[in-house]
Amino acid sequence: MAAGRTGTAAALCGPVVAVVLAAGCGTAPGGGSRGEPVAPADTRPRMERVAAAWEGSAALAQWREGFHPLDEQDWAPAGGFRSGEDKAAAVNGNFVLRAALPEGPPSATPVRWDAGGAELTLPLLTAREAYGQLQGGAKGGEARPDRVLSVTAIAFGETTVRTSRGPARVPAWSFTVEGYDTPLTRIAIRPQELPKPPIEPLRTFDGGTAPLFGRSAAPPDATSFEVTAGHGACDGGVAVDVLEGTDTVVLAGRILPGEKAGRDGACPALMLQQRVPVTLARPVGERLVLDSESGAPLEQGPRRR
């Protein structure tokens, strides 16, 4: 395996707020030739253990062979919601059915990946089950009869989602909502259990570990992407160390030293977020990108903690 160190944004752009998302103001590349620098001793052993646990494991095979969507199923109508009340109704799942639900099981429709490979035909949700998922909302809000959205038509078809194996066409139920041109779409596949990481998450920390919250989407031929990492208000930023393997890319966030920001020497209790560029020695391909801290795959998009 080759270990490398990415560039880091050592200073934050803009004012300090409760949570700051800062694109790196500047980067300082790691020394040595590409792919050759050795990760610091405080991150390297853990990275190696995570890589060794995943490489060739049953969990890796399950992750690669299964259907694991990476996107939230949030409804985003073109042009936005007509009002705050409509948005609240959608979030709280306050829908009323003004159309007949299709009866019986939907047609067997496989998941087809844009990059090719084996298709998957999985158990599907009926229209009634999919509509039932809308009731109560993803956030579990309290129903308000004076704030409802009317579903006027239901159709079975396909949609495109990002998955652990790249973009895929998947079976989906489409709900037409009165007053909106953009239908509300829900994946018609019954939820699958995610693979259990073959290594336990870190239980103790040395104070120098930076949490990673997610990474930007990148095509298989990409050699770079960004990672969102957290650090304290008085830290100097974050570096992200990289360990590349045959089947995995392990990332470890590392806090950079900083100076006290307060006049009294106290440091505000803030978690700042920073986007850090990561550059690989070769394209990410089908390799699984892993978080050294949790030992689990690093999601594309913000990680839900």
Name the 3-class secondary structure at 62: helix
Give the pLDDT confidence of 247-276 residue by residue, as tens digits: 999 999 988 887 655 556 677 778 888 999
Per the DSSP assignment, residues forming a β-bridge with 158 are: 171
- Tell me which DSSP letter residue 59 carries: H
Smallest CA-to-CA distance from 210 within 232, 191, 186, 243 is with 232
Instruction: Examine the pLDDT at 23 and tell me if it is beyond 60.
Output: no
**Percent helix, strand, coil in the chain (nearest 5)?**
10, 30, 55
Residue 191 in tokens: 């939820």
Looking at the whole model, is its pTM more than 0.95? no
| 58-83 confidence digits (pLDDT tens) | 999 888 888 888 777 888 899 999 99
Residues 177/151, Cβ–Cβ less than 8 Å = yes
The one-character DSSP state at 87 is: H
Q: What is the tens place of the pLDDT at every residue in 101-141? A: 998 889 899 999 887 778 889 999 999 999 998 886 444 34
